[in-house]
């Protein structure tokens, strides 16, 4: 695995947990471009139209031209009620030299611990190289999941790299598949650009025997081994659990229309 190629995708997600917290302190429905420039100086976030807000605006404009008692006006009222019940959202764009990022943050009306949402990432040269980011919304210091699909021209398929960003001293893990084994590559760093010069270490799990083996003799690999051998409530290793989760993300990502 080309480590530098994989971690490059984190460039547009630098300091992501703090971005979530800073936005959480504001009413995202009232955030404008000036607010973004002040909060995130140097990030080059661009405010994009909210689909929910655009639809509400379009319906209101249409209703102004209709007889309130007409069937169309009544149907539009029902659609408007449904839209108002949806979570408020803010959509931000950001580009790096390699990728285009679209951040969709959602805030429910009730009190929440963190923002919901996702990040859509598309390679600027090859749109088939794409990724989706999700995170836990029930904690202020969430685990961040990044599922990255990369075209594999040699095998004529899409290869998935499943990034699990734990933050803190637990760092970043990248899970991926080879013909005979699954691999877990670990760093004790988790944010960009710290990942550029970080030490990485790998372990593998045989597909047939599920035996977990050290591939590198360094601290990062030792940390990966200790984590991978932990058992879940279902009685399987954390490595097996993460591989199963990776396959779920791969299936979802392959079926997702990125041109919504």
How does pLDDT run across 138-157, given as a tens digit for each residue? 888 999 999 999 998 777 78
Q: Give, for all 260 residues of the chain, the pLDDT tens digit.
A: 899 999 999 999 999 999 999 988 887 878 899 999 999 998 999 998 776 666 777 778 777 888 887 878 777 777 767 655 555 788 999 999 999 999 999 876 555 678 889 999 999 999 999 999 999 888 889 999 999 999 987 777 889 999 999 998 899 999 999 999 999 999 999 999 999 999 999 999 999 999 999 999 999 999 999 999 999 999 999 999 999 999 999 988 887 776 64
Give the model's pLDDT for residue 153.
Answer: 78
How far is residue 110's CA from residue 92's CA, in Å, rounded to a whole number?
23
- DSSP SS3 for 134: strand
Strand partners, 122: 100, 130
CB 172 within 8 A of CB 224: no
Q: Under a CB-based contact definition with an 8 Å cutoff, are residues 244 and 237 in contact?
A: no
Question: How far apart are the C-alpha atoms of 29 and 239, rounded to whole Å?
Answer: 40
Q: Given this model, what pLDDT does residue 259 score?
A: 62
Helix axes 51-63, 71-85, angle to 10 degrees: 160
Model pTM score: 0.86
pLDDT at res. 189: 96
């Amino acid at each position: 695995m080309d480590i530098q190629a994989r971690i490059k995708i984190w460039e547009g997600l630098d300091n992501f947990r703090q971005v979530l917290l800073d936005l959480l302190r504001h009413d995202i429905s009232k955030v404008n471009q000036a607010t973004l420039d002040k909060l995130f100086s140097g990030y080059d976030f661009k405010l994009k139209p909210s689909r929910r807000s655009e639809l509400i605006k379009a319906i209101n404009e249409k209703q102004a031209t209709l007889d309130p008692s007409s069937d169309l006006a009544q149907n539009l009222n029902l659609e408007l009620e449904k839209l108002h019940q949806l979570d408020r959202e803010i959509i931000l764009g950001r580009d790096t030299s390699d990728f285009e990022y679209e951040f969709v943050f959602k805030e429910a009306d009730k009190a929440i611990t963190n923002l919901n949402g996702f990040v859509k990432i598309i390679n600027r040269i090859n749109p088939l190289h794409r990724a989706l980011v999700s995170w836990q919304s029930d904690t202020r210091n969430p685990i961040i999941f990044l599922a990255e699909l990369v075209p594999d021209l040699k095998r004529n398929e899409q290869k998935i790299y499943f990034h699990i960003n734990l933050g803190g001293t637990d760092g970043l893990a990248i899970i991926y598949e080879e013909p005979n084994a699954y691999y877990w590559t670990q760093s004790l760093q988790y944010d960009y650009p710290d990942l550029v010069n970080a030490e990485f270490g790998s372990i593998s799990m045989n597909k047939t025997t599920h035996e977990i083996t050290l591939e590198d003799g360094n601290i990062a690999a030792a940390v990966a081994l200790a984590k991978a051998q932990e058992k879940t409530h279902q009685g399987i290793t954390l490595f097996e659990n993460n591989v199963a989760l990776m396959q779920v993300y791969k299936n979802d990502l392959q079926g997702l229309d990125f041109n919504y």
